[in-house]
Amino acid sequence: MRAAREPVEILLVERRADYRCGGTAYHRDGNPWDHVFNIQAGRMSVFREDVDDFLNWANYEAIREDWPEPWCAIQFVESGPAPRRIYQWYLEDRLAQASLEAFAGVELTEAVGEVIDVRAADSRITVVIEEPADGDLDGNLPPPATRREIAADHVVLSTGLEVKTPGFAAQVLSHPAFVREPYSRAGIERILESSPGDTILVVGSVLSAYDAAALLLRRGHWGKIYLVSRSGMTLRTYPLHHQHEVIQLPPPELSWYDDGVEGFVRRARAQWKAACSEVLRARPDIDPAVVPERVAKAWEPYVSAVLDQIPTSDLQELLTDHSTILATARVGAMGYTTELV
């Protein structure tokens, strides 16, 4: 909407109304006030080149009438914390602002429904949406959902985090000690109902695992908490007063050859190490702890062109085997979280 200079219609479909502009990680029902960002508040701008936008909104635009202490009076700083739940308000405001300031003919429509099919034909795409129907005033069950088809020129899949059904937990999914959706109101309540001395096992060792562990520890949990993952990798700690920056690097020269996943990973690792070494040489002012993140951020504009070359099955294998490495290279966590965990 900010970039369009000719008429365009954007249809934004979300199957859960409470997830709109928040998703799994930021919606208010699943994030109590002591759920804070793992990264700095200054890293949360929705605009890549305007890194202070979230801070400016939180300090000067956000309505804090119903915010509890200490958030209602705090001055947010780039290297400090912020509660996750306010991010949904921020995104709602920025989306509404973009809609109001858009050129004539640039229209946004928001719908609650689930996309159940996408069909390509010629140059257009047909999207099938199943929309819930409203119940009647007598409190009866709502009628069946209705389906409609939308013809679109482009479809963007932004499905975020999907709830997984892990095979190892198939027999305990309904057990009261198993929390399947930690970013839900029921999941948060179940976590906080645990006794301070209980032994907690968290499957995973990166951002979402830190969220669960930090939530318990900030509430006074003193029993053992295990973070278990296949890689065993954990998050780097950002330097004190670290400030975010976007640097410019040439695109990686990564093509898909007949040597498959193994060869691709080998070439990617070599170029990654070379890029990190170049940043360390050319920018001695950048703390070595954040050099991997600088490289990952600089490569972002080129990622889609690289991924387009890779067959789907091989891409799935890459993501399955290397997602944790990518995550820990791409982001760290603040000391107020890593020191606690």
User: Residue 57 and residue 45: Cα distance in Å, rounded?
Assistant: 9
Write down which residue in 90, 121, 152 finishes a domain: 152
Same domain, 14 and 39: yes
pLDDT digits (tens, 9 = 90+) for 44-101: 999 877 889 999 999 999 999 999 999 999 999 988 889 999 999 999 999 999 999 9
Domain membership of residue 243 (yes or no) is no
Domain membership of residue 339 (yes or no) is no
Domain membership of residue 228 (yes or no) is yes
Highest mean pLDDT among 37-51, 87-101, 177-191, 317-331: 87-101
Closest CA to 46 of 71, 30, 23, 65: 23
Same domain, 46 and 93: yes
Do residues 25 and 44 make contact, with C-beta atoms less than 8 angstroms apart?
no
- Helices then strands (H, E): number in the chain? 9, 7
The C-alpha angle with vertex 235 and arms to 21 and 196, in degrees rounded to 5, equals 80
Same domain, 220 and 182: yes
Same domain, 291 and 312: yes
| pLDDT at 327 (0 to 100) | 84
Same domain, 134 and 77: no
Domain membership of residue 16 (yes or no) is yes
Same domain, 117 and 97: no
Question: Is it the case that residue 235 has pLDDT exceeding 70?
Answer: yes
| Average pLDDT of the chain to the nearest whole number | 89
- More reliable by pLDDT, 139 or 270: 270
Same domain, 266 and 203: no
Same domain, 213 and 288: no
Q: How confident is residue 202, by pLDDT bands cut at 50, 70 and 90? A: very high
Same domain, 289 and 317: yes
243-280 burial, b for 16+ CB within 10 Å, e for fewer? ebeeeebeebebebeeeebeebbebeeeebeebbeebe
DSSP-based helix, strand, coil % in the chain, nearest 5 = 35, 15, 50
Average pLDDT over residues 102-113: 93
| pLDDT at 203 (0 to 100) | 92
Same domain, 194 and 265: no
For residue 77, what are its two tokens? 């700083």
Domain membership of residue 303 (yes or no) is yes
Same domain, 92 and 134: no
Domain membership of residue 31 (yes or no) is yes
User: Residue 26 and residue 41: Cα distance in Å, rounded?
Assistant: 14
Domain membership of residue 337 (yes or no) is no
- Total domains, the chain: 4
Structural domain containing residue 38: 8-101
Domain membership of residue 245 (yes or no) is no
Which has the minimum average pLDDT: 104-108, 137-141, 150-154? 137-141
